[in-house]
A and B are shown apart, each in its own frame.
Chain A
Amino acid sequence: MQREDGDMRTLQGEVIIEGRAEGQILASTEPLSFWGGYDQHTGEIIDRRHPLSGENGSGRILVLPFTRGSSTTTAILLESVRRGVAPAGIITDRADVFLALASVVADEMYEGAFPMVAVDRDLFATLRTGESARILADGRIEVA
């Protein structure tokens, strides 16, 4: 579902982890492993085979279809929450257990949960790096 309103459009997603966040979108349709893919000290995307290599995910609304590979993705994301360089919120095209768990444990350990929303693949493909996005508690995403 997508609603256009002037320059802003609103996407309805499914709440995976409830919360609010806003920031600039960093988007790719390629899945990413955070282990070997996300620098927990800086937030830089360091998978040199990934299209976002060299970009920085800290404080961004990170848009990835799902996580690939390593089971350690969750641990890296938790470390990055503890260091304050995690994404502000994450949008996926399905419920990603690895990312969601990082938010649940971050809440348990550091009161550092970040919101996550899953959107349909068609809507997912419309999200572009550089756009501004606001994730709302009911799973709506305002993009401008």
Chain B
Amino acid sequence: MVLSEFDKALLAGEEGPASQMAMRILHRMLPVFGVDRFMDVEAAHIDSTVYMGVATMEYAERLAELGAKVRVPATLNVSGVDEHGWQEWEVPEEVASNATRQMRAYEAMGCIPTWTCAPYQTDHAPSFGQQIAAGESNVIGYYNSVIGARTERYPDLLDICAAITARVPAAGLHLDEGRKGTVLLRLTNVPTALQEDDAFYPVLGHLIGRMAPDGIPVIEGMNVQPTNDQLKAVCAGGASSGAIALFHMVGVTPEAATTKDAFLGDEPPRVVEVGMDELRTSYQDLSTAQGERLDMVVLGSPHFSIDEFKALAPLVKGRRKADEVDFLVTCSRTVRMIADHVGLLEPIEAFGAKITVDTCPLTSPMLPERIKNLMTNSAKYAYYSPGLLGVDVIYGRLTDCVQSAIEGKVIREEGPWNAAGGR
């Protein structure tokens, strides 16, 4: 191992016991990353905030008690509770209390209390080429793919060690060679009308995660320029069904002006055609529920953006959801505040929707037992809800979710998925 003087000082405890513990963990992990040295990072995003039980709390409190302070700006991912709104839900008091303790511990370390899984839609987003240490799989995907900042896939518990030491293993996606595409996915006969449809992007993400679960897929054949929210949906989908930490989209993402760029000048080692058959299968795979029954609509994984609130507000304005269907939007405190300030929340709350901040139903035990069938426009909610919440899911686009909530039963516009046959 090639350790710097700084690394050695941390390991020796010269910078205090918290830095020593963080470096000891990083040091033991270095060979697992398959490299022999560390490098600097300029910022971090901490997913260790997610409260999973007493162990995650004890870990945070151990570091905080040892006097840990982050050496680089570190945004915070979601918590296990909506700190000021959990009482409206089924969250057990003990979970709320422990999760809040865990929140205090990360704040005490000097982190930025963003409490969101969409930190790239805050003022603290990194810029192209920056070396960072991020946890939370969709954030890793977004930073690498959409922004062109550089982070490995950091697990919870290690991201905070990186923020405390400002050091990470010099491995993988931090390096040029590690960012080279591994497979070309060529969209073939995918109609522009479908590419313009919001419903396309979570399905595409789910599909690339299935097709290249541990790879760096390069997607070719886009006819439109997706929005950042659409790309965020690809990241969340690909990081749920697979372990995608970086994808390139030719003509769209910053390291893929051309297909050749995405493969660093080499030929693609593998080319796979992706047509409507594959997309339809992926679309169907996102739903597990049969029939029309609907108990709840959940939007906002990753956390809803202001643009997404702008899309939702006119759809629900003057309407009212069915009494028997709950309607939840999850977002950050900041986005809720802005949405409220510019008048977007009023029609959404009048519709009967609730807003949860700081967390989401996947990371906070908040949903009542009676919820059995849950509808969402998010591939991540769709992927994880059956296992984590024991519910069945229906995937549909935003307008389907709203219409279904109004009518009290599942309604989906399937038209664009039936366009043009096979490839």
CB atoms of A97 and B153 under 8 A apart:
yes
The reply on B277 being an interface residue by CB < 8 A is: no
Cβ of A117 < 8 Å from any Cβ of B? no
Chain B residues lying within 8 Å of A110, measured Cβ to Cβ, are: 55
Q: Is the CB of A108 within 8 A of B47?
A: no
Inter-subunit contact A68/B243 (CB<8 Å): yes
How many Å lie between the Cα of A110 and that of B54 in the bound state?
Answer: 12
B54 to chain A, nearest CB (A): 7
Asked, given contacts A73-B155, A100-B29, A101-B158, whether A47 binds B47 with beta carbons under 8 Å apart, the answer is: no
Interface residues of A in 87-144 (CB under 8 A from B): 95-98, 100-102, 104-105, 108-110
Closest to A67 in B: B243
- Given A69-B240, A97-B153: A105 and B288 within 8 A (CB)? no
Complex Cα distance, B139 from A48, in Å, reads 25
A68–B213 contact, CB under 8 A?
yes
Residue pair B157, A75 in contact (C-beta under 8 Å): yes
Q: Which of B25, B137, B242 has the most CB of A within 10 A?
A: B137
Cβ 8 A contact of B55, one of A31, A67, A70, A79: A79
Name the segment of A3-11, A20-28, A32-40 touching the other chain: A32-40
Which of the residues A35, A74, A105 comes within 8 Å of B384, measured between beta carbons?
A: A35
**Contact residues of A between 23 and 62, Cβ < 8 Å to B:** 31, 33, 35-37, 40, 46-49
Q: Map CB proximity to A onto B386-398 as digits: 1 under 8 Å, 0 otherwise.
A: 1110000000000
Binding site for A on B (CB under 8 A): 21, 24-25, 28-29, 32-34, 47-48, 50, 52-56, 58-59, 62, 135-137, 140, 153-159, 209, 213-214, 239-243, 285, 288, 362, 383-384, 386-388
- 22 pairs from A and B in contact (CB 8 Å cutoff): A16-B32, A31-B214, A35-B384, A36-B383, A37-B387, A40-B53, A49-B285, A69-B383, A70-B137, A71-B137, A72-B52, A72-B156, A78-B55, A78-B59, A79-B52, A79-B55, A95-B32, A95-B34, A101-B25, A102-B157, A105-B157, A110-B55
By secondary structure, the B interface counts as helix
Contacts of B158 in A (CB 8 A): 74, 97, 101
Residues of B within 8 A of A97 (CB): 29, 32-33, 153, 155, 158
B157 in contact with A101 (CB, 8 Å): yes
**Given A95-B34, A97-B153, CB of A108 within 8 Å of CB of B21:** yes
Inter-chain contact B387/A105, CB cutoff 8 Å:
no
B407 to chain A, nearest CB (A): 28
CB distance from B34 to the nearest CB of A (A): 6
Q: Please tell me if the beta carbons of B243 and A104 are within 8 angstroms of each other in the complex.
A: no
**Bound-state Cα–Cα, A97 to B50, Å:** 19
- Docked Cα-Cα span, A95 to B169, in Å, equals 14
Pairs A-B, 9 closest by C-beta atoms:
A74-B155, A79-B53, A36-B387, A36-B384, A71-B135, A75-B52, A82-B55, A75-B156, A98-B155
Contact A82 B53 (CB under 8 A): yes
Taking the nearest CB of chain B, how far is it from the CB of A76, in angstroms? 6
Min Cβ gap A130→B in Å is: 24
B92 CB to nearest chain A CB (Å): 14
Contact with A68, one of B54, B56, B241, B387 (Cβ below 8 angstroms): B241
> Are B59 and A105 interface neighbours, CB within 8 A?
yes
B137 neighbours in A (Cβ, 8 Å)? 69-71
| Shortest beta-carbon distance from A38 to chain B in Å | 9
Point out which of A33, A69, A109 has the most chain B C-beta atoms below 10 A from its C-beta: A69
Q: Closest CB-CB distance, A65 to chain B, in whole Å?
A: 8
Kindly state whether residue A63 has any CB partner on chain B within 8 Å. Answer: no
Min C-beta distance of A13 to chain B, whole Å: 14
Give complex CA distance A67, B345 in Å.
39
A46 to B55, CA, bound (A): 20
A68 to B137, CA, bound (A): 10
- Which one of A47, A66, A82, A105 contacts B243 once the chains associate, using CB atoms below 8 Å? A66
| A105 in contact with B25 (CB, 8 Å) | yes
A64 contacts chain B at the CB level, 8 A cutoff: no
Tell whether, in the assembled complex, residue B241 and residue A71 are in contact, meaning their CB atoms are under 8 Å apart.
no
Known contacts A36-B388, A79-B53; decide if A104 and B28 are in contact (CB<8 Å).
yes
